[in-house]
A and B are shown apart, each in its own frame.
Chain A
Amino acid sequence: MKTTGIMIVGVGGQGSLLASKLLGNLLTAQGYDVKVSEVHGMSQRGGSVVTYVKFGDRVFSPIIDLGEADYIVSFEKLEAARYAPYLKKGGRIVTNTQQIDPMPVITGTAEYPQDILEELKNLGCRIDALDALSLAEEAGSAKAVNIVLLGRLAKSFHIEYDAWIKALETTVKPKFIEMNKKAFDLGYHS
């Protein structure tokens, strides 16, 4: 099997590490060779963050380069645009519609681009956009944005629903399982 690449992108502190952990557990349980690469340290302080998840028969490079990602899961829409050049032709972007202003926008030296998702669609990207923040809040916690988005990713993914739920149960803390299941379902059925 050819290697599949998923990029998880967002703003430091949005929970991308948990999402990649869940994917790692899911894909390992399916018997794939898996590599997950993330960067710790300075970039986590509210900066743009990216995690690479790759799986297949044999994975070599832990990172994903321009034009190589099969999926991009984005926790924030500006980040979806930032990393869109990494998307493979025909790849899919699952993105939260939430807007988080970066410091240059806050200080007024840059503008947050309007209609950014429309622009990506016009460039030929397949976009699955959803208000994951509202769905996460509906599930019980704004922090579950990551799980809502994975639920939506699961919909267009070849691995069956039950395997995702099992991976979720082994990844999140017991007291948060029910809330996260709800978040996953809300994403899955959105």
Chain B
Amino acid sequence: MKKLMIGNEALARGFYEGGIGAVSSYPGTPSTEITEFLAKYDDIYSEWAPNEKVAAEVAFGASLGGKRSLCCMKHVGLNVAADPLFTLSYTGVNAGMVVCVADDPAMHSSQNEQDSRHYAIAAKLPMLEPADSDEALQFAKASFKLSEQFDTVVMMRTLTRIAHSQSIVTLGEREEAPEKPYEKKPEKYIMMPAYAKKRHPVVEERMKKLAEYAESCPFNRVEWSEDKTLGIITSGTSYQYVKEVFGDRVSVLKLGMINPLPKKTVKSFAQKVDRLVVVEELDGIIETFCRTLGLEVEGKKLFSPIGEFSQSVIRKAFGLKEPENVQLPNPVPLRPPMMCSGCPHRGIYYTLSKNKITVIGDIGCYTLGAQPPLCAVDTTLCMGASVSGLHGFNKAGEGAFESRSVAVIGDSTFMHSGITGLVDIAYNQSNSTVIILDNSITGMTGHQQNPTTGLNIKGDPAGKIDLEALCRSIGIERVRVVDPYNIEECEKAILEELKAPCPSVIISRRPCVLLKYVKLNAPLEISNDACRGCRKCMKLGCPSISFKNGHAVIDETLCVGCGVCKQLCAFGAIQGQGGKVQ
């Protein structure tokens, strides 16, 4: 049966057909939907873990326990999971185990564009990379067997344009995984020096065998053209752009297994073509490999390591003509993403911005508070860095910063890795103020449950971590909860906690306005008679409010009646039923 599927659904289907028994992941664009699709199968175990390191370790435990297992993450999530990953290379697996990582060239929804292929090389693990949904399904299906055959974790690399592009796949049947009962093997699974020393040679030997396998791996193929003046080595989406531009007019070595690379295949391909070019997004990894083989090759001389490719990038690199197009005489105003109408983060950010407080930020929707007019965020680094970053900032200030700096972090991000920073604050005693923006969901990645929501990945009741109790239990005595729709309450809490002589946590609690169960209020209206055009409400950066003919105007199709603007208006010009903070 054929079906149109995004790459992530195809990966999920492939893992399912390949006999997966357990998946544990942390959401991260563009990898999130793989685990969401897998959660729809009731005959496998699926979960959202608090972070990628935990997910990888859960997957390892499941492999040990006899189930083919998987963990999925975005590229930066692999940094978090890197600790278990490097030593998993030594232990190998029991049942097959796959780590699936999604890179985001062009940073559509990421803070950097690191190239995950370096991890496969550094950790000495095989890595596969599909170029469309059908390959995603086929590679995923084969990955567990490969893992078991070579007793290794297999890495699957995908890219935004694979993960979120739909193409046609051919569905197959689910294969039954062979039974793999757990056996105690200290020399394989206990990585203390005496045993680890014996495992490292196993890793090196395995890489040699995998390199041999790569020569005959069905996922690497040569597409010969009659014309052999130009030969291109490529993989993933880059392959599609090359084919879009050249069709069958050039010879292509299309790699599906991108670590280890096949020496003989590459050499033999290179010998048969006049000019060898590597087309790869991000870093010049295949190109460098070609050079180590002594081949004359072009790559990053023609292509940038920055951003994602397209057919136009390929055309330009080869000096081909670009299609004609319309040139606009004036630039079109930008339309950056922004916090939604009624977003509960807005009230907190308005308060922080108004009081000129330094805000050490984190990863999530609330990064959008960095934009004008709020401009409320000072830093964004990585998951959890707000809490620990604030602690370091305050230590550097030797008392000068503590009364005017805070950390902001979402509920899911706090559970991911904010908690360890808070432990540092409690332990090493900085007088820091941490605001947990608890919108009761993992927002940016599209509403995934997390340990604080009380529901699991399937939406069924689950354990619920009590944030207040958790913070108190590690020694934070001042923990208070505010409603971010109540500006006065927010301001009072923030100013009081900044002044307080000990560390504190403010939990700003209100569910994401996009959650289906959230009841929206009627839109508010502005009375032109009362509005003096002071633009105070415009400081909120609410997409519902604009300014026309000297007055603020509320777009009734967007306004959800959160009432934050109503509290700011000194002239009572904003009216309506909304804004009753309940």
Do A and B come together as binding partners? yes
Q: Which residues of A contact B (CB under 8 A)?
A: 11-13, 24-25, 28, 33-48, 59-63, 65-68, 78-79, 81-82, 84-89, 101-113, 119-120, 123-125, 142
Give a binary string over B1-20; 1 marks a CB under 8 Å from any A CB, 0 the rest.
01010000000000000000
CB pair A67–B109 under 8 Å, yes or no, is no
A–B pairs, 18, beta carbons within 8 Å: A24-B4, A34-B4, A34-B166, A37-B164, A39-B108, A39-B160, A40-B33, A42-B108, A45-B365, A60-B243, A66-B322, A66-B323, A82-B332, A102-B334, A106-B545, A107-B372, A113-B330, A120-B326
B557 within 8 A of A: yes
Interface centre among B2, B240, B323, B541 (most CB of A within 10 A): B323
Give Cα A102–Cα B12 distance, bound, in whole angstroms.
Answer: 37
- Indicate if the CB atoms of B330 and A63 lie closer than 8 Å: no
Residues of B within 8 A of A24 (CB): 4, 166
Q: Assess A34 versus B168: contact at CB under 8 Å? Given A39-B160, A46-B543, A66-B312.
A: yes
Which one, A47, A79, A82, A104, contacts B337 given CB within 8 A?
Answer: A47
Which of A42, A85, A110 has the most chain B CB within a 10 Å cutoff? Answer: A42
User: B171: CB under 8 A from chain A?
Assistant: no
The verdict on A40 contacting B29 (CB below 8 Å), with A65-B311, A78-B332, A107-B538 known, is yes
B30 close to A (CB within 8 Å): yes
Question: A89-B324, A120-B326, A125-B326 in contact; A42/B335 too (CB < 8 A)?
Answer: no
Check A48 against B168 for contact (C-beta < 8 Å): no
Closest chain B CB from A166 CB (angstroms): 15
Distance A85 CA – B328 CA, assembled complex (angstroms): 7
B168 touching A33, Cβ below 8 Å? yes
Q: Which 8 A-B pairs have the closest CB atoms?
A: A41-B109, A67-B323, A47-B337, A67-B325, A41-B29, A102-B335, A110-B333, A62-B165
Residues of A contacting B32 with CB < 8 Å?
40
Interface residues contributed by chain B, number (CB under 8 Å): 57
**B446 touches A (CB below 8 Å):** yes
Please determine whether B444 and A41 come into contact, CB atoms closer than 8 angstroms: yes
A185–B334 alpha-carbon span in the complex (Å): 33
CB atoms of B166 and A104 under 8 A apart: no
Decide: A35 near B167, CB < 8 A? Known: A41-B109, A65-B311, A106-B546.
yes
Q: How far is the CA of A142 from the CA of B523 in the complex (A)?
A: 15
Contact with A along B165-203 (1 / 0, CB 8 A): 111100000000000000000000000000000000000
Contact of B371 with A by CB under 8 A: yes
Q: Which of B2, B332, B339 contacts A81 (CB 8 A)?
A: B332
Contacting residues, chain B, for A63 (C-beta < 8 A): 161, 310-311
B261-318 contacts to A, CB under 8 A, are 310-312
Q: Which residues of A contact B33 (CB under 8 A)?
A: 40
- CB <8 Å contact, A89 and B543: no
Tell me if A65 and B312 are in contact (CB < 8 A). yes
Write the residues of chain B forming the contact surface with A, with a CB cutoff of 8 angstroms.
2, 4, 29-30, 32-33, 108-109, 132, 160-161, 164-168, 237, 240-241, 243-244, 310-312, 322-330, 332-340, 365, 368, 371-373, 444-446, 538, 541, 543, 545-547, 557
Closest Cβ of chain A: how far from B12's Cβ, in Å? 15
Query: Are A103 and B323 in contact, CB atoms less than 8 angstroms apart?
Result: no
A106 with B166: CB separation less than 8 A: no
Most chain-A Cβ atoms within 10 A of its Cβ — which of B108, B165, B365? Answer: B165
Complex contacts, A38 vs chain B, CB 8 Å: 164-165
Q: Which residue of A lies closest to B107 (CB)?
A: A42
Let me know if B333 and A43 touch, CB within 8 A.
no
Closest to B167 in A: A35
Verify A104–B333 contact, CB threshold 8 A: yes
**Does A11 contact B326, Cβ atoms closer than 8 Å?**
no
Asked if A123 and B168 sit within 8 Å, CB to CB, the answer is: no
Cβ of A132 to closest chain B Cβ, rounded Å: 14
Please state if B546 and A101 are interface contacts (CB–CB under 8 Å).
yes
> Smallest CB–CB gap between B262 and chain A, Å?
23
Give B545's nearest chain A residue, CB to CB: A106
Alpha-carbon distance A127/B141, docked complex (angstroms): 46
A163 to B227, CA, bound (A): 42
Complex Cα distance, B326 from A82, in Å, reads 11
- Partner of A60 from the list B244, B334, B445 (CB cut-off 8 Å) is B244
Rounded to whole Å, the gap between the CB of B320 and the closest CB of chain A is 12
Query: A42 touching B29 by the CB < 8 A rule?
Result: yes
User: Do residues A103 and B326 form an inter-chain contact, with CB atoms below 8 A?
Assistant: no
A60 to chain B, nearest CB (A): 4
B166 contacts across to A, CB distance below 8 A: 24, 34-37
- Contact status A60-B322, CB under 8 Å: no
Contact for B109 among A43, A60, A61, A81, CB less than 8 A: A43
Quick one: which of B241, B312, B325, B373 has the most chain A CB within 10 A? Answer: B325
Point out the residues of chain B lying under 8 angstroms from A67, CB to CB: 322-325
A145 to chain B, nearest CB (A): 11
Question: Chain A residue with minimal CB distance to B334?
Answer: A104
Q: Are B167 and A102 in contact (CB under 8 A)?
A: no
Determine if B543 and A103 form an interchain contact, defined as CB atoms under 8 angstroms apart.
yes
Most buried by A among B29, B333, B446, B547: B333
